Amino acid sequence: MLVRSTPAEQRTVLHNISWETFEALLRDTGEDRGSRFAYDCGTLEIMTPLFEHENPKIQFDRLIVVLAEELAIEIISAGSTTLKRRLTNCGIEPDNCYYIQTEPRIRGRETLDLETDPPPDLAIEIDITSSSVNKFGIYSALGIAELWRYNGEDLKFYQLVEGEYVECEFSIAFPLFSVSEMSRFIQQSKTTGEIALLKSFRAWVRNKI
């Protein structure tokens, strides 16, 4: 077992964990626990997020909701829902994830099963410190078409192309908006009040469309 602690995240890594043990831990710890799991072929990382991690997560979610609202795009926010497939022997709990293009197929559902349901269209991954598991590999195996990754300073957009993530400038879900534009507002969130930031962002989106 390896434990690492920083002001942003505390990570515990367990090896040789079977799929059955992984599912038992998910069941026994429940949905209200503060930690998040990432499982990759026997390696389980348990991450407990702290303020430096959680605040950007909230900012991303608010900005995405404003984007969808102003563009009149229906979305379903799935938060940190556990995404897993037994066939791929992997699972993860993203910081945020959303059904956008496939929203009509999920609307009204109370549970998700990625063995039969489509995966979210967009996932947000915040890693202030380095993860011990291959999250790109997990998201790829689960078929997440778009991934936004933020390390506390830099934001990058990725799209899934033939099983591999390729860095891109524009979002698939919101193609009018570039990574540099979104990054600018995330950086502003460090020095601007949250309500003022949302007002500024909404005005900017309206002007752009």
pLDDT single digits (tens) 46-101: 988 777 778 899 999 999 999 999 999 999 999 999 999 999 999 999 999 999 99
pLDDT single digits (tens) 136-146: 999 999 999 99
User: Does the global pTM surpass 0.75?
Assistant: yes
CA angle 149, 131, 13 (to 5 degrees): 145
Predicted confidence at residue 202, as pLDDT, reads: 96
pLDDT over 70 at 114, yes or no: yes
By three-state DSSP, how is residue 191 classified? Answer: coil
16, with CB counted inside 10 A (0-12, 13-18, 19+), is exposed
Angle subtended by helix axes 179-188 and 51-71, to nearest 10: 130
Which two structure tokens, joined as six digits, stand for 200? 């500024």
CATH fold of 51-208 reads tt1808, chain A (3.90.1570)
Contact in structure between 134 and 161 (CB atoms under 8 Å): no
pLDDT single digits (tens) 24-52: 999 888 777 778 899 999 999 998 877 77
Which two structure tokens, joined as six digits, stand for 30? 């429940």
Q: Which amino acid is at 89?
A: N
CA 155 to chain centre: 13
Domain residue ranges in the chain:
51-208
